[in-house]
Amino acid sequence: MPPQKAAKSSPKPQPRKSTGDLAPGRVAAILKALDEAYPEAVCALHHSSPWELLVATILSAQCTDVRVNMVTPELFRRFPTPAAMAKATLPQLEDLIRTTGFFRNKAKSIQGAAKKITTAFGGKVPQTLAELITVPGAARKTANVVLGVSFGKAEGIVVDTHVFRIARRLSLARSDTAPKVEQELMRVIPQDRWIAFSHQLIHHGRQVCIARKPKCDRCNLEQLCHSKDKTWHS
């Protein structure tokens, strides 16, 4: 059994001033528009268990989900469980994940994660943020992905490069680091929307609100967006 230590709860988000950009009506309109544009947004990393999702998410750092999905089938065929992967050598893992970039560090992370989950959590991915962030390679973003997608638990909001960029473009957050943006979003987005919200922003960031030259003429949030980066105004 994994140790049943009490979850270290995240600092309680304090309400932000609900005027202007953060007025409840504006936030609700943004969420509604995201629902309309991306009603079925889900995680694009292929996986069949929390363990596979954890590994795939670690591999997705600085890499596309498409590329990760190309390497994980063989990786999980060779090493299907945390116990099996814990016994893999680093060169074996490096060979299998080489094309995802930063493969030496990632091999160490997934081997370390496998060992930790095998020895400390009885071979099962833990279901709290406090436990997950003790797993090598699983910082807060990875932990939030696994908690939300595999266990339907919203302890935080996934802030990847797309969520970070679009939250700031939409004036939902102003901070300059992902952890601070996450805290800002946790204050303005209702908790029952945290999981879907990040999936929807990630889809929006890939398809429309791209980093360079966002496709504002195709964006259904355009009238709600006051970003200086806008390429088109209605």
Q: Where are the alpha helices (DSSP H) in 1-99?
A: 24-37, 50-59, 65-78, 82-87, 90-97
Show the tokens assigned to 119.
């020895």
96 touching ligand SF4, by CB under 6 A: no
Known active-site residue 141: yes
Nearer to ligand SF4, 21 or 222 (CB): 222
Q: Which of 23, 171, 230, 234 binds ligand SF4 (CB under 6 A)?
A: 230
* Alpha-carbon distances, residue 118 vs 1, 85, 115, 138, 188 (angstroms): 11, 10, 5, 15, 38
Question: Residue 30's Cα: distance from chain center in Å?
Answer: 20
Nearer to ligand SF4, 81 or 227 (CB): 227
Contact code string over 206-225 relative to ligand SF4, x by CB under 6 A? --xx----xxx--x-xx--x
How many residues in the shown chain lie near ligand SF4 by CB under 6 A?
A: 15
- Rounded distance between C-alpha atoms, residue 102 and residue 93, angstroms: 12
CB of 171 to ligand SF4, least distance (A): 10
**Contact partners, residue 159, CB within 8 Å, separation at least 6:** 141, 167, 178, 179, 181, 182, 185, 198
CB of 220 to ligand SF4, least distance (A): 8
Contact code string over 165-204 relative to ligand SF4, x by CB under 6 A? -x--xx----------------------------------
Q: Which of 141, 215, 217, 230 is catalytic?
A: 141
Show the tokens assigned to 99.
């094309």
Angle between helices 50-59 and 103-120 (to 10 degrees): 150
Q: Which of 108, 115, 160, 213 is catalytic?
A: 160
Measured torsion, CA atoms of residues 116, 121, 124, 128, in degrees rounded to the nearest 10: -100
CB of 3 to ligand SF4, least distance (A): 43
CB of 182 to ligand SF4, least distance (A): 19
- Rounded distance between C-alpha atoms, residue 103 and residue 71, angstroms: 12
Known active-site residue 160: yes
Nearer to ligand SF4, 37 or 139 (CB): 37
Q: Would you please indicate which residues are annotated as catalytic (active-site) residues?
A: 141, 160
Site residues for ligand SF4 per CB under 6 A: 166, 169-170, 208-209, 214-216, 219, 221-222, 225, 227, 229-230
